[in-house]
Amino acid sequence: MPILDLTSDASSALSIALIDPDDLRREEVAGVLRGFHGMSVRKYASFPDDLCGLPVMLEQHYDAVLIGLDSAPERAFDVVEGLCADHSTTLMVYTAQNNLELAIRFMRAGAREYLTLPLLQAELADALDRVSTHRLETPQSRKIPKKLFVFLGSKGGSGVTTLASNFAVSLAQESGDRTLLIDLGLPLGDAALNLGMTVEYSTANAFEDSSRLDSNFLRSLLAKHGSGLSVLPAPSEFSSHLATKEAIDKLLAIARQSFAYVVVDAGSRVDLMDTSIFGESAIVYLITQVGVTELRNSNRLITQFFAARGRKLQIVLNRYMPHALLFDEKQITKALTRPALWKIPDDYATARRINNRATPIALADTPISNVIRQMARTACGMSAIPEKKKGFSLFGRKKDPLPGNRSFLEVAEQE
């Protein structure tokens, strides 16, 4: 007999992801959840290997995530901490242990509900009620991810434009969502040039009279790439006019209203640090090569500006050649204060071919494009590598009605 009936308003049906490697426990909890009407439950039999894109995927598809702690408490803690750092996912945990310290630890990490087994229907009903109320208070948060990705170089020539423009093409293609690339490179940007696009307008038009700027005006300035990506290029003529912080903030706010994903080529512009481009919600990709100056600059950037950014700073080693380096991995990690998350191989032949023909690397099948595609897929909450190459379901895979693939095992509901 359902205690909480959510079917009265179909749009209010809750969707829950249930993650627990312990088959018995997972089924026990799924059984209790089945007692509620209007609830869709997806079960996962493992924790994800890669936490990077997980918040976006979960935020997009589920109202809440329910995690079983007991089979791997430390792994569960990493997942809870990772998801809660993003502030977007409603997280509930359950355990059979009556342990106050454990409860405090998980609540501090951000879990909204801490439930103990055996799960009482009334207790779960209260918790779900709170999730439901929270969702009604933030109705837009689940449907539209509105992510901002900012590419910053430790030095001119690090590869920011190459990576930002191809990442944006890949993101537009892989996600199928509205994606915009804004080129803030100075003095002359070359993102559009790199993508082989002829353009009419640029950021100069957007900044010229920023009081006129609204979503229609912005749309009229954009160029469209064949991949579906929209581009606001940098000016192709030198200009002494520098955009104000207010103008940049306004452009970004309008861009984020109209697009699910906004990618910014920030060149090596540390002067943008006070703008909303580097606001808390941005995911910053710091692009660096392994050289004395680049690593020194990266160290200063990370310690001065990004020390508290956690997973929202992702370090990318570009033109990486493991066997021809002046520094070993340990020295690189020390300079960067943390390990680099992405390594893009040095591929002179592809880069030259691409530069000459102005076709995006992202559309080719090369070592560079493969890593860029993995970055883009992770960014929009898909598994880094398409599902056919990895992963399996415990009971055979159920057809997934949602876009994107899970990076962890989904257990199909047995009829």
Ligand X SMILES: Nc1ncnc2c1ncn2[C@@H]1O[C@H](COP(=O)(O)OP(=O)(O)O)[C@@H](O)[C@H]1O
By the criterion CB under 5 A, which residues form the site for Mg ion?
Answer: 160-161, 185
**Residue 308, helix vs strand vs coil:** coil
Q: Apex CA 278: angle with CA 272 and CA 281, to 5°?
A: 160
Task: Give the DSSP letter string of 163-201.
Answer: HHHHHHHHHHHHH-S-EEEEE--SSS--HHHHTT---S-
Select the binding partner of residue 272 from ligand X, Mg ion, none (C-beta < 5 to 8 A, by kind). none
| Of the candidates 376, 404, 379, 384, the residue with the CA atom closest to the CA atom of residue 227 | 376
Classify residue 5 by its DSSP letter.
B
Select the binding partner of residue 289 from Mg ion, ligand X, none (C-beta < 5 to 8 A, by kind). none
Q: Give whichever of 368 and 411 is closer to ligand X, judged by the CB atom.
A: 368
Query: Which residues in this chain contact ligand X in the complex, by CB under 6 A?
Result: 153, 156-162, 267, 318-319, 344, 346-348, 351, 355, 368
Task: Please report how close the Cβ of residue 193 comes to ligand X at its closest, in angstroms.
Answer: 10
Q: Give whichever of 314 and 318 is closer to ligand X, judged by the CB atom.
A: 318
Task: Please report how close the Cβ of residue 158 comes to ligand X at its closest, in angstroms.
Answer: 4
CA distances in angstroms from 52 to 148, 311, 377, listed in the order given: 14, 8, 10
Residue spans of beta strands (DSSP E) within 2-70: 14-19, 39-44, 64-68
Select the binding partner of residue 162 from ligand X, Mg ion, none (C-beta < 5 to 8 A, by kind). ligand X
Neighbours of 351 (CB within 10 A): 16
Task: Give the DSSP letter string of 358-379.
Answer: T--GGGS-SHHHHHHHHHHHHH
Q: How far apart are CA 234 and CA 203, in angstroms?
A: 5
Task: Please report how close the Cβ of residue 161 comes to Mg ion at its closest, in angstroms.
Answer: 3
Task: Please report how close the Cβ of residue 161 comes to ligand X at its closest, in angstroms.
Answer: 3
Classify residue 235 by its DSSP letter.
P
Neighbours of 27 (CB within 10 A): 14
Q: Give whichever of 82 and 153 is closer to ligand X, judged by the CB atom.
A: 153
Select the binding partner of residue 318 from Mg ion, ligand X, none (C-beta < 5 to 8 A, by kind). ligand X
Q: Give whichever of 204 and 412 is closer to Mg ion, judged by the CB atom.
A: 204
CB 202 within 8 A of CB 172: no
Select the binding partner of residue 344 from Mg ion, ligand X, none (C-beta < 5 to 8 A, by kind). ligand X
Q: Give whichever of 174 and 183 is closer to Mg ion, judged by the CB atom.
A: 183
Residue 30: both structure tokens together: 């799924």
Q: Give whichever of 14 and 160 is closer to Mg ion, judged by the CB atom.
A: 160
Select the binding partner of residue 233 from Mg ion, ligand X, none (C-beta < 5 to 8 A, by kind). none
Task: Please report how close the Cβ of residue 319 comes to ligand X at its closest, in angstroms.
Answer: 5
Task: Please report how close the Cβ of residue 166 comes to ligand X at its closest, in angstroms.
Answer: 9
